[in-house]
C-alpha cells in the first residue's frame, strides 16, 4: 500500500526469502569455482579472476531466466505468488551480480593498457559487420545498462513518481535486456566453450521464458470474445462465482475488469492494480477489501479506493444480475467513484 518510503519494507517472509536467495548464490559461486578448479587437467587451472568472472556471468544469466519465469508461473499456480512478491530483490541482486561480472571483464580484459577501458570495449573488436565475429561484450553492456535503470527505479518511490504506466513500460525493458543477454552468450562464451550442453542450457532457458509467456498470454486472450447484451458483457452465472474471488472479463477496448463476489454482493473494478499493474482479479477479498495477489495492495469493493490513510484509486464498473447471470458494463467510472454492488437474489 502507499506508505512512507523506506529502503526495504521488510517482512519476516521477505527476510527468510533473502536468506534463501543468498545461500543459493553462495552455493552456486563456490560450487562453480571449486568444481571448475578440480575438473581441469593436472597442471592446469583457471585464473581465479576469470573463474569468478565466469561464475558471476553464468549465475546472472540463470537468475534472470528464473526471474522471467516467475510471472507466468504465478499466473498458473498461486503457489508461485511468494516468489513474485519477492521478485524485486532477485532482480536487484541479479543486476549486482552482473555488475561484478562486468567490472571484472572491464578490469581484466579491457584494463592494464593505455587505452581507456570504455573505449576499448567498443573498438577492440571492430567486427560489427560479422555475426559470428560480432563484439558480444557490447551486447552485455547494453543489457547491464537496462538492468541498471530497472534496479535504480525498482523502489516504489519511482513507481509512484513516474506513474504506473511509465514505470511498467520502463520495466518491460527487462525483455530487451534478456534478448541482449541471450545474444551476448550465444556470440561470446558459446563461441569458445563449444560443449553442446552450453547450447542446450541457453536454448532451454530462452525457450522456457518464451513458452511460459506465450502460454499465459493465450490464457489471457481466451476470455476476450464475451457475448454482449445492450452493451453489457456477460460474466458468469452467479452460482459459478466463488465467494471472495473474482471473474475476469476483457472488453474489446480498455482495461480488463475484475468482478468480485463478496457474500451476496457483486462488484466490479479495474483488474489492474495501481501499484505495479498486478492482476487484481486473481486476488481475493480479505477483511472486506479486494487484495492484490502480487504485493497485497487493497481497495474497497464499493468505490475502488484504498482504505484510509492510503490514497490509491481504481475504476469501478456497474454490474447487474438478470436471471442468475452476472453482467458488467464495460464503461469505467472515474477511479474512486462509488458504485452500488448488485445484490444476489434481488430483482434487478
C-alpha distances in Å from residue 163, one per residue of 1, 148, 159, 299, 322: 15, 19, 6, 18, 38
Residue 189 contacts other proteins per CB under 8 A: yes
Among 135-143, 162-170, 312-320, 323-331, which window interacts with other proteins (CB under 8 A)? 135-143
Residue of 43, 227, 231, 309 interacting with other proteins (CB under 8 A) = 43
31 binds other proteins (CB under 8 A): yes
d(CA 30, CA 25): 9
Cell of 268: 466490479
Whether 13 and 82 have beta carbons less than 8 Å apart is answered as yes
Contact segment (CB under 8 A) with other proteins among 9-17, 158-166, 250-258, 319-327 equals 9-17
Q: Which is nearer to other proteins, 193 or 240 (CB)?
A: 193
Provide, rounded to whole angstroms, the least separation between the CB of residue 104 and other proteins.
Answer: 12
- Spell out a b/e string for 118-134, using b for 16 or more CB atoms within 10 Å of the CB, else e: eebbeeeeeeeeeeeeb
Out of 64, 69, 85, 141, point to the residue binding other proteins (CB under 8 A).
Answer: 85
State which residue, 103 or 149, has the beta carbon closest to other proteins: 103
What is the contact mask toward other proteins in residues 227 to 246, using x (rule: CB under 8 A)? Answer: -----------------xx-
| 83, 117, 155 from 185: Cα distances, Å | 26, 21, 29
How does DSSP assign 217-266, residue by residue?
A: HHHHHTT----EETTEEEEEEGGGSPTT-EEEE--SSS--EEEEEETTEE
Contacts with other proteins: how many residues (CB under 8 A)? 73
Q: Among all chains, which residue has been given the C-alpha cell 551486447?
A: 139
Q: Considering the rule CB under 8 A, would residue 116 count as an interface residue with other proteins? A: no
Part of the chain binding other proteins (CB under 8 A), chosen from 104-112, 165-173, 174-182, 324-332: 104-112
Q: Does 136 bind other proteins (CB under 8 A)?
A: yes
Give the residue, chosen from 118, 193, 228, 240, that forms a contact with other proteins under the rule CB under 8 A. 193
Quote the least distance from Cβ 231 to other proteins, whole Å: 33
Specify whether the CB–CB gap between 226 and 249 falls below 8 A.
Answer: yes
Amino acid at each position: 500500500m502507499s506508505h512512507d518510503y523506506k529502503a526495504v519494507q521488510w517482512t519476516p517472509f521477505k527476510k527468510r526469502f533473502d536468506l534463501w536467495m543468498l545461500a543459493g548464490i553462495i552455493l552456486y559461486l563456490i560450487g562453480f569455482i571449486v568444481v571448475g578448479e578440480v575438473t581441469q587437467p593436472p597442471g592446469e587451472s583457471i585464473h581465479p579472476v576469470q573463474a569468478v568472472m565466469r561464475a558471476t556471468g553464468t549465475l546472472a544469466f540463470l537468475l534472470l531466466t528464473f526471474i522471467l519465469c516467475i510471472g507466468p508461473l504465478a499466473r498458473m499456480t498461486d503457489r508461485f505468488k511468494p516468489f513474485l512478491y519477492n521478485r524485486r530483490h532477485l532482480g536487484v541482486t541479479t543486476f549486482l551480480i552482473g555488475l561484478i561480472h562486468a567490472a571484472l571483464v572491464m578490469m581484466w580484459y579491457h584494463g592494464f593498457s593505455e587505452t581507456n577501458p570504455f573505449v576499448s570495449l567498443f573498438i577492440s573488436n571492430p567486427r560489427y559487420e560479422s555475426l559470428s565475429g560480432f563484439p558480444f561484450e557490447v551486447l552485455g553492456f547494453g543489457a547491464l545498462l537496462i538492468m541498471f535503470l530497472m534496479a535504480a527505479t525498482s523502489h516504489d518511490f519511482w513507481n509512484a513518481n513516474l506513474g504506473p504506466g511509465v514505470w511498467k513500460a520502463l520495466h518491460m525493458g527487462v525483455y530487451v535486456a534478456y534478448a541482449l543477454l541471450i545474444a551476448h552468450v550465444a556470440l561470446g562464451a558459446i563461441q569458445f566453450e563449444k560443449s553442446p550442453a552450453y547450447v542446450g542450457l541457453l536454448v532451454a532457458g530462452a525457450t522456457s521464458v518464451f513458452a511460459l509467456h506465450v502460454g499465459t498470454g493465450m490464457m489471457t486472450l481466451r476470455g476476450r470474445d464475451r457475448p454482449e447484451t445492450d452493451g453489457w458483457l456477460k460474466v458468469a452465472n452467479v452460482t459459478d462465482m466463488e465467494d471472495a474471488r473474482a471473474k475476469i472479463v476483457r472488453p474489446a477496448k480498455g482495461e480488463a475488469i475484475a468482478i468480485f463476489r463478496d457474500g451476496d454482493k457483486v462488484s466490479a473494478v479495474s483488474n489492474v492494480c495501481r501499484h505495479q499493474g498486478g492482476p487484481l482479479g486473481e486476488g481475493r477479498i480479505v477483511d472486506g477489501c479486494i487484495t492484490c495477489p502480487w504485493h497485497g495492495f487493497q481497495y474497497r469493493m464499493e468505490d475502488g479506493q484504498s482504505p484510509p490513510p492510503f490514497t490509491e484509486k481504481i475504476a469501478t464498473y456497474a454490474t447487474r444480475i438478470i436471471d442468475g447471470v452476472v453482467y458488467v458494463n464495460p464503461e469505467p467510472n472515474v477511479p474512486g467513484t462509488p458504485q452500488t454492488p448488485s445484490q444476489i437474489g434481488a430483482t434487478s
